[in-house]
Amino acid sequence: MTDDTLEPGVDLTGRDLRDRRLAGAPLQEATLADADLREVRLGDVDLRGADLTGARLDGVECAGFLSGVDLTDATLVDADLRRVDLSDATLTGADLRRADLREGNLSGAVFTEADLSEARLDGVSAREARFADADLTDATATDAGLVYTAFADATLRQATFDDADLLAATLPGADATRASFEGADCAELLVGDADFTHATFADAVLDGVDFSEATVRGTELPPGVER
């Protein structure tokens, strides 16, 4: 297959594309379900609206457009997705362990039941993204924009949200044991019955936050905040 066959809407279901250089390829609305793209350098490839359900993207490098892409159950272990546009993408059940998503656009993206353990989300814009039932153990989201973001029933153990904007984000049922929210803007944060055992909110803004149903055993809260 030559590069000139790579065009919008192309069907590459199950294809082995390892070691191929796809930089700049126009793959909008393409079907790459179950394709093998491990270690591929995608560069500024345009995958807007593409279907990568079940695809393997371990160690992939991408600086292009993944807006609206379907990455359900895709494998992106150690993927380099810095500054990538993943707005409105679907990553339900995706494996993003140790993926680098720093400074990316994740607004409106769905990460339900995804594995983001040890992922790097520092500086991302993830307004109204959904991380329900996702695993963010040891993930970092320093200075991230997480306004109206949903983390219901997510695992946030030892995750770092220092200086993040969590305005009106939702965390009912989340396990945030030993998580750090130092200096974060958590105004109107809906915590419900989340577990913040030994978590820290040092210097955080907590206006309008009700911890009455949450577990705050050993939690560091700013002076004057009721447990």
Mean pLDDT within 93-116: 96
Percent of the chain whose predicted confidence (pLDDT) is above 90: 79
The domain made up of 131-227 has a fold known as Pectate Lyase C-like (2.160.20)
pLDDT band at residue 3 using 50, 70 and 90 as cut-offs: very low
Segment 50-74 shows an average pLDDT of 89
> What's the mean pLDDT when you consider all of the chain?
93
Type of residue at 222: P
Read off the pLDDT band of 42 (50, 70, 90).
confident
**Residue 126 CA, distance from chain mean position:** 8
Lowest model confidence (mean pLDDT) among 62-71, 107-116, 155-164, 194-203: 62-71
Give 140's strand partners. 120, 160
The segment(s) of the chain belonging to CATH 2.160.20.80 are 1-100, 131-227
Percent of the chain with pLDDT over 70: 98
Architecture of domain 1-100: 3 Solenoid (2.160)
Confidence of residue 4 (pLDDT cuts 50, 70, 90): very low
The Cα 196–Cα 218 span in angstroms is: 8
pLDDT at position 151 is 98
Q: How far apart are CA 51 and CA 156, in angstroms?
A: 29
Q: How far apart are CA 175 and CA 170, in angstroms?
A: 12
